[in-house]
C-alpha cells in the first residue's frame, strides 16, 4: 500500500476526530465507571498520584486538597475526586 496524502476540510477532520473519540470512550466506559467509584487508602493515593502522605495530611489539616472520607483513623479518597482536583491545577504550555 502506498502512502497517500489525504486532504480534509476542517469540518471533515473534526468529524473524523469526534468519531474516533466516541469509539475510544465507548471502549473505555466500563473502566471509567469503575474508577469513578473506586476508593483508595491514603497510602494508595500517595503512591498513585505521587503525593506524599504528609502532604495529604497537611492538606486535610488546612482544609485544602482533594475531598476525602474519614472513618475513625481510616482516610479514604475517591479516585475520581483526586483526579478532578488534580485537573484543576493542570498547566497547558502555549504552543
Segment 69-83 mean pLDDT: 90
**Dist. CA 27–CA 56, nearest whole Å:** 33
Number of domains, the chain: 2
| Among 60, 35, 27, 34, CA closest to 46 | 60
Do 78 and 91 lie in one domain? The reply is yes
Shared domain check, 93 and 83: yes
Q: What is the pTM of this model?
A: 0.57
Instruction: Pick 89 or 1 by higher pLDDT.
Output: 89
pLDDT digits (tens, 9 = 90+) for 42-71: 998 999 888 899 999 999 999 999 999 998
Would 79 be classed as within a structural domain? yes
Same domain, 56 and 14: no
Amino acid at each position: 500500500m502506498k502512502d497517500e496524502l489525504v486532504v480534509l476540510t476542517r469540518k471533515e477532520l473534526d468529524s473524523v476526530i469526534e468519531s474516533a473519540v466516541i469509539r475510544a470512550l465507548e471502549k473505555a466506559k466500563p473502566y471509567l465507571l469503575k474508577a469513578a467509584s473506586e476508593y483508595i487508602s491514603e497510602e494508595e493515593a500517595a503512591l498513585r498520584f505521587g503525593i506524599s502522605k504528609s502532604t495529604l495530611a497537611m492538606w486535610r489539616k488546612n482544609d485544602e486538597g482533594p475531598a476525602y472520607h474519614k472513618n475513625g483513623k481510616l482516610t479514604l479518597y475517591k479516585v475520581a475526586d483526586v483526579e478532578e482536583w488534580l485537573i484543576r491545577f493542570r498547566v497547558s504550555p502555549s504552543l
